[in-house]
Amino acid sequence: DPLAVTFAPKIELEDCQLDWRRPAAELHCLVRGVNPEPGAWCYVEVKGEKKRLKIVRTTLAEDAYAIGEPGSLLKYDKTGIVIACGKGALNILELQLEGKRCMTAKEFACGISADHITLELGQTL
């Protein structure tokens, strides 16, 4: 029915910023919904420099990883990256640091030590 049609507002880049205080399932859906463009993203501090990090692919992490302050790195090693959310945790599979190519979380973790990276919580909605 043409009369029942509604229009959605354009998705802006700011709408795609990840707020780690939100539930992991919601953030996972955001990542899937806005990929490839504009893409879900967050700010990270890498070696003292603030950069945008685009999250390309995720899965929901196992319950064993679900405990931690939102935005904290629960796992960051050669096997992958898991980030605590408001409820649950997100397993990061692929990401892209500003100015770099898209890579797996394993490649990213091998290239940048956990001591040199800090996540920002994100915007408050």
DSSP string spanning 44-102? Answer: EEETTEEEEEEEEEEEEPPGGG--S-TT-EEEEETTEEEEE-SBSEEEEEEEEETTS--
- 29/33 Cα distance (integer angstroms): 6
**pLDDT for the residue numbered 123:** 55
* pLDDT value at residue 119: 84
pLDDT computed for residue 65 by the predictor: 66
pTM of the model: 0.86
| Structural domain boundaries in the chain | 42-119
Distance between the two ends of the chain, CA-based, in angstroms? 34
Tokens of residue 19, six digits: 């707020």
Point out which residues pair with 89 in neighbouring strands: 84
Per-residue pLDDT of the chain (125 residues; tens, 9 = 90+): 888 888 888 999 999 999 999 999 999 999 999 999 999 999 999 888 999 999 999 999 987 667 889 999 999 988 889 999 999 999 999 999 999 999 999 999 998 888 888 888 875 43
Please name the amino acid found at residue 97.
L
- Assigned token pair, 73: 């790195």
Q: Which of 30, 122, 111 is nearest to 71 (CA)?
A: 122
Residues in the chain: 125
The pLDDT value given to residue 125: 36
Quick one: fold of 42-119? Answer: Methionyl-tRNA Fmet Formyltransferase; Chain A, domain 2 (3.10.25)
For residue 50, the model assigns a pLDDT of 94
